[in-house]
Amino acid sequence: MPTTRCVYSYAVALAGVAAMTAALAALESVRHIANDSMLYLLVVIGVAVRYGSGPSVAASIASFLAFDWFFVQPHHGFTVSDPAEWLALVLFLCTAITVGQLTAMLRSRAEEAGQREMEAAALAEASWSVASQLDLDHALRVVLDRVVQISGAGDATLLGEKAGAHQVLAQVGDALDPAEHGLLVLPLGAGERIGYLVLRLPPGRELSMAERRAVNSLALHAGVVLERDRLMRVEAQTQALHEADRLKTALLSMVSHDFRSPLAAIKASAGSLMAPGEPLDEDTQSELLSGIITAVDRLNRMVENVLALSRLEAGAWRPMVEPTPVEEVVASALEPLSAESSARVEVSLEPGLGEVPVDPVQMAQVLYNLVENALRYSPPRAPVEVRAWRGYGSFVFEVADRGPGLPLGSETHLFEPFWRGPGLGESARAGVGLGLALCRGLVEAHGGEITALRRQGGGTVFRVELRREVGR
């Protein structure tokens, strides 16, 4: 306790005794009251409640002396004529001190309980903010605000280790340097140095035990928040690495299987065209050349799918959703098809479908991939159906073919990058490559769902279900 406050509390104790003495004297002049010394106990209790044990003892002794001086015969002297009065005086002193001590003890108990409560409330709020706020800055800010509230610090700073140096993570008032003199510096957490809490208390202010405990707990709490954040980042990194690794493995397998066959076709065709010997007739030449162009187109499509999927997985290709006429989505999907392929597609749209909330380019890509896939796996000239209708709170697109149908148990694997059907081995047609994986990625980016179903009477139905209201 600062000395000014200390002196003040003793002064108040003595003033209280003086006031009580004056009051008793005034009362005494009117009529005599038995055991009026007991009124001093009121002063002692009051001082004990307000200022604690020291001042209450002072008040007790002062009361004893004042009573003896003013009210015990002979007046204005400390001598006591009646031995019975002596006993009463000593008893009074004992009672006053005991009552004062008991009251002061009660007071400090209550104070401590109050502080514990405050500490518990601060910690509870801090933990709640940590549990509910995923945002690191916000959580640290809440913790620091509570520290300031409890400690009364004018400036407070949370420093954390970042990239090998300590950086300010949160601050109230001026940013503080822990090396500066006269600041309170608390480590955030034991063992490994995670960071520091630095406080500048107002001059003369010292923390009570309870306050110190609360501030310490909050500092540890900030440490936990920082540590959790670090672990979460490590976790996310690990996951991204894992995902990238999976994609890389899949890509390597694609390069080794799917890319090689068009490359081989190109090299063989170009080699034949350049080979010495009898010049090739014009038909053969153009056959080889158009083979090269077809292979290049195929490679180009694969490269585009790889790029699209990696951009999608990296979160760099978010759908730009806008209300789009369904006809426009279907028309854009069919546009890249050759006239011959396009003629095989039968479109039936529920009348009055209106607009569907999608990214027009991405959804056209989904439908194109599905149609192209269906055409490729259907018998030549077999029709492929494209249907669209309004479900309950959803839009449904379907692409149905009369191909060989799905191998049992492949309904979900189909959408994994580079999945190959059992028994298809490494034949050129085997891999669906990335087309369906890209479809799933795009549909899921729209918050929708894509499924593959066996079609009654043979064949496969790919169904894309989109919510009719898509939040941006």
Partner 1 sequence: MKVLVADDEPQIRRALKVGLERHGYKVVEAADGEEALDVFAEQSPNVVILDLAMPRLDGLGVCRELRGWSQVPIIILSVRGRDDDKIGALDLGADDYLTKPFSIEELLARMRAVLRRVEAGQASEPTAVTVGELTIDFARRTVTRGGTELHLTPLEFDILRYLALNPDRVLTHRQLLTRVWGDEYAEDSHTLRVHISNLRAKIEPDPMRPRYLRTEPRVGYRFLSGRS
Taking Cα atoms as reference points, which of 308, 270, 325 lies closest to residue 439? 308
Neighbours of 204 (CB within 10 A): 9
Q: Is 342 in the site for partner 1 (CB under 8 A)?
A: yes
Q: Min. distance of Cβ 397 from partner 1 in angstroms?
A: 13
Choose which of 85, 313, 355, 416 interacts with partner 1 (CB under 8 A): 355
Asked if 160 contacts 224 with a C-beta cutoff of 8 angstroms, the reply is no
By beta-carbon proximity to partner 1, the closer residue of 253 and 342 is: 342
Q: Min. distance of Cβ 239 from partner 1 in angstroms?
A: 26
Does residue 189 sit in helix, strand or coil?
A: coil
Q: Min. distance of Cβ 162 from partner 1 in angstroms?
A: 34
Choose which of 81, 256, 300, 427 interacts with partner 1 (CB under 8 A): 300
Q: Min. distance of Cβ 298 from partner 1 in angstroms?
A: 12
By beta-carbon proximity to partner 1, the closer residue of 117 and 304 is: 304
Give, as one character, the DSSP assignment of residue 13: H
Q: Helices 39-51 and 3-30, interaxial angle, to 10°?
A: 160
By beta-carbon proximity to partner 1, the closer residue of 437 and 452 is: 437
Over the range 285-315, which residues count as b (16 or more CB within 10 Å of their CB) and which as e? eeebeebbeebeebbebbeebbebbbebbee
By beta-carbon proximity to partner 1, the closer residue of 87 and 289 is: 289
Site string for partner 1, 307-336 (x = CB under 8 A): x---x----------xxxx-xx-xxx-xx-
By beta-carbon proximity to partner 1, the closer residue of 192 and 322 is: 322
Q: Min. distance of Cβ 299 from partner 1 in angstroms?
A: 9
Restricting to residues 361-420, which ones interact with partner 1 according to CB under 8 A? 361, 364
**Secondary structure percentages of the chain, helix, strand, coil, to 5:** 60, 15, 30
- The residue type of 427 is S
Calculated CA dihedral for residues 165, 166, 169, 172, nearest 10 degrees: -150
Choose which of 135, 304, 350, 426 interacts with partner 1 (CB under 8 A): 304
Q: Min. distance of Cβ 241 from partner 1 in angstroms?
A: 24
Residues contacting 256, CB < 8 A, separation 6+? none
The radius of gyration of the chain's CA atoms, rounded to the nearest angstrom, is 44
Q: Min. distance of Cβ 361 from partner 1 in angstroms?
A: 4
By beta-carbon proximity to partner 1, the closer residue of 360 and 431 is: 360
DSSP per residue, 126-137: HHHHHHH---HH
By beta-carbon proximity to partner 1, the closer residue of 148 and 292 is: 292
Q: Min. distance of Cβ 333 from partner 1 in angstroms?
A: 9
Exposed / middle / buried, residue 101 (Cβ in 10 Å: 0-12, 13-18, 19+)? middle
C-alpha count within 13 angstroms, C-beta hemisphere, residue 251: 14
By beta-carbon proximity to partner 1, the closer residue of 157 and 305 is: 305
Asked if 197 contacts 156 with a C-beta cutoff of 8 angstroms, the reply is yes
Judged by CB under 8 A, the stretch of 89-97, 131-139, 180-188, 355-363 that binds partner 1 is: 355-363
What is the Cα–Cα distance from 367 to 389, expressed in whole angstroms? 14
By beta-carbon proximity to partner 1, the closer residue of 207 and 437 is: 437
Site string for partner 1, 277-296 (x = CB under 8 A): ----------------x--x
| Residue 44 structure tokens | 């002692």
Asked if 86 contacts 67 with a C-beta cutoff of 8 angstroms, the reply is no
What is the Cα–Cα distance from 259 to 428, expressed in whole angstroms? 10
| Residue 399 structure tokens | 């692409």
Q: Min. distance of Cβ 121 from partner 1 in angstroms?
A: 52
By beta-carbon proximity to partner 1, the closer residue of 174 and 322 is: 322
Asked if 143 contacts 218 with a C-beta cutoff of 8 angstroms, the reply is yes
Q: Min. distance of Cβ 354 from partner 1 in angstroms?
A: 10
Pairing of strands 384-390, 345-349: parallel
Q: Min. distance of Cβ 344 from partner 1 in angstroms?
A: 12
By beta-carbon proximity to partner 1, the closer residue of 71 and 259 is: 259
Calculated CA dihedral for residues 13, 15, 20, 25, nearest 10 degrees: 140
By beta-carbon proximity to partner 1, the closer residue of 171 and 310 is: 310
Choose which of 46, 223, 360, 431 interacts with partner 1 (CB under 8 A): 360
Q: Min. distance of Cβ 313 from partner 1 in angstroms?
A: 15
Q: How many residues sit in the footprint of partner 1 (CB under 8 A)?
A: 23
Residue numbers at the binding site for partner 1 (CB under 8 A): 293, 296, 300, 304, 307, 311, 322-325, 327-328, 330-332, 334-335, 342, 347, 355, 360-361, 364
